[in-house]
Amino acid sequence: MNRFDYARPATIAEAVALAAEPGATYLAGGTNLLDLMKGDLVRPARLVDVTHIPGLDAIEPLADGGVRIGALVRNADLAHDADFARRFPAIAEALLAGASAQLRNAATAGGNLLQRTRCAYFYDAASACNKRTPGAGCDARGGETRMQAVLGWSEHCIATHPSDFCVPLVAFDAIVEIEGPKGRRECPLEHFHRLPGDTPERESDLAPGEMITAVRLPGAAAQFAGHARYLKVRDRTSYAFAIVSAAAALRLDGETIVEARLALGSVAAKPWRAHAAEALLAGAQANEANFRRAAEAALAEARPAGANGYKIELARRVVRRAFILAHAGTPARIQALPASPFATGALRHV
């Protein structure tokens, strides 16, 4: 690990000033950044520890029925906030499906958005990686590709964004609140993460020195509370990143879908909002045939980045199942093994 400066600002303004210098990086929960530093994969000259800035750890209900989640709210605190979990159950379920209890206690809402890919070649200093060293090439291509992207990848990068939390957030039109050297602004989460194109090193919309101060959910998101689920398929029952995940939600009028929301996780460099699938379901009957059509639409552009074609069919099935679960209704309580196929109660299979 390189030698670095450590700063602990007391205000956002102070933090932004400290972080504006080249080589500075914000530190919040540290669950990803410190591992990257120990692996010599990032070498910040300065860590700006924002965890002592007051006021960033609140969960505030908003007048429109939405909520503002402070950037420093810990994953576990958010998931276990009863009011939040009642109004945004798929998000609570996604949070509890992520990482381990210890990590959820440390990881923050803002940091979750900025977590890096889990691509093995990104984590291996000896491998070529365009994210770490622009122009170096991508050793993941032609290498181990089982977990890599099937949507939105480029020849320069086939990595995925591994977040669970971001998947329902993007489905529910979350907005990222940002402060930086040029003042305050906000950015829809859907446009916050970037596809790799030929600049895979640019992963988000944040400019140098900008920090996330909150994530806001509009009141409309709470209208899906009765039919909102997150489903995560993984290699072990807990403590594993998703192979494919999906957040699916419905607003129903009887058996007619008024509005549908769908996003997929671990399929692309960003949490993947599936607007075409949503449009297909709007006004349609809530049945398996329509969920199947939505799944087809969601994956229409998918193509394997290597030996990971199985993820495309798996993603279709995850989408169908997630809608079946959402249609059946949000459980009164978050079940044990949240978001796992084994958490579900009785269901009919497609």
Partner 1 sequence: MSETPLTQASAHLRHGANIGQSLTRHEGALKVTGQARYAADHHPAGMLHAVLAVSSIARGRVIALDVAAAKAHPGVVDVMTPAHKPPLAQDPDEKTHPFMFRLDVLQNDRVRYPNQPIAVVIAETLEAATEGAVLLAPRYETEPARTDFPAGAHFTPALVGVADPAEAHHGDVEAGLAGAARRLEAIYETPAQYHNPMEPHGIVAAWEGDTLFIDTPSQGLAMAQARIAGLFGIPPAAVHIRSPYIGGGFGSKGVFSGPQVLGIMAARLVGRPVKLVLRRGQMFGPVGHRAPTRQSFRLGADNAGALTAIGHHTVTASSQHDDFFEPAGGVSHTLYASPAIATTYEAVRLDTGTPLFMRAPGKAAGSIALESAIDEMAHACAMDPLAFRLKNYAEVEPMSGKPFSSKALRACYAQGAERFGWAKRPLAPRQMRDAAGMLVGWGMGTATFPALMFQAQARAVLRADGTGVVETGAQDMGQGAWTALGQIAADSLALDPDRVEFRAGSSDLPDAGIAGGSAHTATAGMAIHGAGADVIARLAELAMGDERSPLHGAGNAGVIARAGRLFRRDDESRSESYVAILARAGIPAIEGHGKSATDPAAQAAYAMHAHGAVFAEVTVDPDLGQLRVTRLVGAFAAGRIINPRMVQSQYYGGMVWGLSFALHEQAVIDPRSGRPMNANLGEYHVPVNADLPSIEAILVEEHDAHVNALGIKGVGEIGITGTAGAIANAVWHATGMRARRFPITLDKLIGPQDN
Beta bridge partners of 245: 232, 265
Minimum CB distance to partner 1, residue 186 (Å): 33
> Of 41 and 187, which has the nearer Cβ to partner 1?
41
Minimum CB distance to partner 1, residue 276 (Å): 17
DSSP labels, 294-339: HHHHHTTT---SSS-THHHHHHHHHHHHHHHHHHH---SSPPSSTT
> Of 199 and 238, which has the nearer Cβ to partner 1?
238
Minimum CB distance to partner 1, residue 75 (Å): 17
Minimum CB distance to partner 1, residue 131 (Å): 16
> Two tokens at 289?
């045939």
SS3 159: coil
Neighbours of 341 (CB within 10 A): 15
Rounded to whole angstroms, how far apart are CA atoms 239 and 48?
A: 29
Q: Which of 96, 17, 34, 98 is nearest to 333 (CA)?
A: 96
- Helix (H) or strand (E) segment spanning residue 168: helix 166-171
> Of 17 and 350, which has the nearer Cβ to partner 1?
350
Provide the pairing of β-strand 24-27 with 46-49: parallel
Rounded to whole angstroms, how far apart are CA atoms 268 and 106?
A: 26
Minimum CB distance to partner 1, residue 172 (Å): 24
> Two tokens at 81?
């906030």
> Two tokens at 170?
């993007």
Rounded to whole angstroms, how far apart are CA atoms 108 and 104?
A: 8
> Of 30 and 65, which has the nearer Cβ to partner 1?
30
Residue 253 carries which DSSP code?
E
Minimum CB distance to partner 1, residue 278 (Å): 21
> Of 8 and 292, which has the nearer Cβ to partner 1?
292
> Two tokens at 299?
């994956």
> Of 49 and 124, which has the nearer Cβ to partner 1?
124
> Of 201 and 296, which has the nearer Cβ to partner 1?
296
> Of 47 and 195, which has the nearer Cβ to partner 1?
47
Instruction: By CB under 8 A, name the binding residues for partner 1.
Output: 1-3, 40, 118, 120-121, 123-127, 139, 142-144, 146, 233-240, 243, 296, 310, 313-314, 317-318, 320-321, 337, 340-342, 344-350
Minimum CB distance to partner 1, residue 230 (Å): 14
> Of 104 and 320, which has the nearer Cβ to partner 1?
320
> Two tokens at 2?
């390189």
Rounded to whole angstroms, how far apart are CA atoms 93 and 69?
A: 16
Minimum CB distance to partner 1, residue 103 (Å): 10
Rounded to whole angstroms, how far apart are CA atoms 160 and 151?
A: 9
Neighbours of 128 (CB within 10 A): 15
Minimum CB distance to partner 1, residue 290 (Å): 16
Dihedral, CA atoms, 78, 180, 195, 138, nearest 10 degrees? Answer: -100
